[in-house]
Amino acid sequence: MTFYYQGAAILAPFTITSNEPTYETDTVSLVKQRASQGAQRWEMTFSTMGSADTEAQMLVSAITNLTTSATLIMPQIPSVVAGNTSSVSLVINANAAAGVSAVTIVNDGTLKQGSFIKFSNSDKVYMVTADAVAGTVAVSIYPRLRTAVTTSDMMRTGDSALFTYYRDINSLKGLTYSDGLLSNSGTITLIEAV
């Protein structure tokens, strides 16, 4: 399965990271305590394969629109995609409040642990933390639901789970040419726009 950034194929190795600041301290009696504010975002790092068809678009995207967000299809784990049989748009069966870690849906197939999903009322991407089989099921998600969902919203899976991002301005580059033929945009880091 190939995923694309600005029309160019994303190359392996490809990194998807969950950035959830967690703080740790030791008490006087040496008990470890950990705390988190509950904020989380996904970050991706990858390189692309340039071609004559994509190199101009890659150069333009590296130097323009630094203050606007964009979207791409959220890359999925290949072994997870192979096991998923659910539709790409699933009905939410019961309202769910912000802060919960499961959403009840009507599932028409199997939605595998590790699937990236999103809800139609939000740009936030979530990950399924346990397999969900056909029927009316509570789908466990990570992180906790950031925005409440209702029965008028939908759960998006597969190619319908779009990742809304900003480019990391600390890793901006242009294009590098090798032998005057191959172009490389270097390492690209995308940060979820939450």
Torsion angle of C-alpha atoms 10, 146, 161, 44, degrees rounded to 10: 0
Alpha-carbon gap, residue 54 to 51, rounded angstroms: 5
Residue 160 has pLDDT above 80, yes or no: yes
The phi, psi pair for 63, rounded to 5°, reads -120, -5
pLDDT value for 176: 66
Render pLDDT for 46-56 as a digit per residue (tens, 0 to 9): 988 767 777 77
Q: What contacts 92, CB < 8 A, 6 or more positions away?
A: 103, 104, 105, 119, 149, 150, 151, 153, 154, 155
Name the more confident of 148 and 38. 148
**pLDDT (average), residues 188-194:** 93
pTM of the model: 0.88
Render pLDDT for 88-108 as a digit per residue (tens, 0 to 9): 999 999 999 999 999 999 999
Contact status, residue 42 vs residue 142, Cβ threshold 8 Å: no
Q: Which amino acid is at 100?
A: V
Residue 25 has pLDDT above 80, yes or no: yes
**pLDDT (average), residues 32-60:** 85
The phi, psi pair for 87, rounded to 5°, reads -65, 165
Burial state string for 82-93 with b = 16 or more CB within 10 A and e = fewer than 16: eebebbeebbbb
Continuous segment of H or E residues that includes residue 61: helix 55-63
Name the more confident of 7 and 176. 7
pLDDT value for 7: 83
Q: What contacts 85, CB < 8 A, 6 or more positions away?
A: 109, 110
Alpha-carbon gap, residue 103 to 157, rounded angstroms: 14
Residue 175 has pLDDT above 80, yes or no: no
pLDDT value for 173: 63
pLDDT value for 66: 82
Residue 181 has pLDDT above 60, yes or no: no
Alpha-carbon gap, residue 45 to 68, rounded angstroms: 19
| Across 168-172, 173-177, 190-194, least confident range | 173-177
Q: How confident is the model at residue 43 (pLDDT cuts 50, 70, 90)?
A: very high
Token pair of 125 as six digits: 């991407």
Token pair of 176 as six digits: 């590098």
> Where are the extended beta strands (E) located within 20-148?
22-26, 32-36, 41-49, 70-73, 89-92, 102-107, 116-119, 125-128, 135-142
